[in-house]
Structure 1
Amino acid sequence: MSNLVATSAKTEIIKRLFDAFESGPDAPIQASDKYVTYLTEDVHFRLGNLDTLVGRKAIRDSLVDFCQQVKSIYHDIKQKWEIGDVVFLDMEATYYRQDGTTVTLPVMDVFRFKGDLIQQLQIFMDINPIFG
């Protein structure tokens, strides 16, 4: 995660969440298990126009499937805004695909926290180029 100037406790949690996959999900199950530890049990997760996933297990299972399709992911944060329990990230996400090519996409993430855990995550991105 580059370009992140000021860090808060929430930003550090998001950084650890991203680190689960930035190190390369050679073991998709372990990376997904680590990822969901930063989420509340009743978390809501939505990517683009896909259906909302509810709960750690649904998100974990989806991530395991996704991680088998990419080698790793890198998040380059351009701007960050924090308002109360909500963190907004404007960034580029680079996906290293299994075929050796990379795809970099613009993305806007919105994280809503409940205490030290993420209760809602919305990712505004067109994921289709990753699979094209």
Structure 2
Amino acid sequence: MQITATNTTPHMKLIAGLYSAVDAMNATSIVSYVTEDVNFRLGNFDALVGRDPVKEANEAFFETISAMRHTITDILSEGETVFCTGSVHYTRKDQSGHEVPFATRLQLRDGKVADYQIYVDISGL
């Protein structure tokens, strides 16, 4: 995970930790950043509610790739809402690469992610 954004937000520590967990493909660590009743949606997949379904979905997704690495080029926040944009580089199981832009909207509550919306096209994987 690399943050190249020049602007700052009070939520930088949370963003760095969350995306480090994602890039480490550590579903247990990822769900430590979310609320028990988190609403989670990746791309055009159905929304999930709750830590356990989010953990299971992330574990299943991580089984389909070898690695991933985010570069966050912009972070904007307004109160408890944080927007991140950038690119994500995936390494497929055959070791070929695939890079696409992404955007994420995070709605925070009590220092954790309560609504986690990821806008990315993973159809090329």
Structure 2 match to 1:28: none
Distance 1:21 1:43 in 2: 16
| Residue pair 1:21, 1:72 contacting (<8 A) in 2 also | no
Distance 2:68 2:10 in 1: 22
1:49-60 → structure 2 map (5 Å cutoff): 49-60=44-55
SS in 2 for 1:128: coil
Deviating more after overlay: 3-12 vs 78-87 = 3-12
Distance 1:71 1:20 in 2: 15
With the length of structure 1 as denominator, give the TM-score of the two structures. 0.87
Deviating more after overlay: 4-13 vs 109-118 = 4-13
Structure 1 match to 2:17: 16
The amino acid of 1:47's aligned partner reads: L
Deviation at 1:125, TM superposition (A): 1.4
The amino acid of 1:17's aligned partner reads: L
Write the deviation string for residues 45-90 of structure 1: whole angstroms up to 9, x where unpaired.
0112211010000000001111111122111112111111001111
Structure 2 match to 1:45: 40
Instruction: Tell me how many residue pairs correspond in the alignment.
Output: 124
SS in 1 for 2:53: helix
Structure 1 match to 2:78: 83
Deviation at 1:44, TM superposition (A): 0.4
Distance 2:60 2:44 in 1: 18
For structure 1, which runs of at least 5 residues remain unmatched after alignment?
26-30
Distance 1:82 1:11 in 2: 10
SS in 2 for 1:14: helix
For structure 2, which runs of at least 5 residues remain unmatched after alignment?
none
SS in 2 for 1:129: coil
Q: CA RMSD in A?
A: 1.3
Distance 1:8 1:37 in 2: 21
Indicate the structure with greater helix content: 1
Return the match for 1:94 from 78, 89, 92: 89
Kindly indicate whether residue 120 of structure 2 is the aligned counterpart of residue 117 of structure 1. no
With the length of structure 2 as denominator, give the TM-score of the two structures. 0.92
The amino acid of 1:12's aligned partner reads: K
Distance 2:5 2:74 in 1: 8
Deviating more after overlay: 53-62 vs 8-17 = 8-17
